[in-house]
């Protein structure tokens, strides 16, 4: 099963990289950009059923892939 882990800074955490990208977009003439948040995207292929993979991957994300103090994560699983 392929799993996608999308990690983003928590809303209350400053994102200087996102602000830099937003400023660059504005300087290039892109309009309507209100906010940019930069995160991480990780693909993992794992064996197991949907519930087992989700449980294990959540554990891995909490322990290693994301910093729970400053980041949130979402999982998307594909069969």
Quote the pTM value: 0.84
What gap in Å lies between CA 60 and CA 26, rounded to an integer?
37
Sorted by where each begins, the domain ranges of the chain are: 2-78
Tell the CATH topology of 2-78. Answer: Mth169; Chain: A , (3.30.1280)
Strand order in the sheet with 71-78: 40-45, 2-9, 71-78
pLDDT of amino acid 79: 79
Task: Give residue-wise pLDDT tens across range 39-75.
Answer: 999 999 999 999 999 999 999 999 999 999 999 999 9
């Amino acid at each position: 099963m392929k799993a996608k882990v999308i990690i983003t800074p928590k809303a209350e955490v400053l994102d200087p990289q996102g602000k830099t990208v937003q400023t660059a977009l504005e300087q290039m003439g892109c309009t309507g950009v209100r906010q940019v948040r930069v995160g991480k995207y990780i693909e993992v292929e794992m064996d197991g059923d949907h519930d087992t993979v989700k449980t294990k991957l959540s554990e891995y994300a909490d322990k290693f892939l994301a910093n729970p103090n400053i980041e949130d994560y979402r999982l998307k699983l594909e069969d």
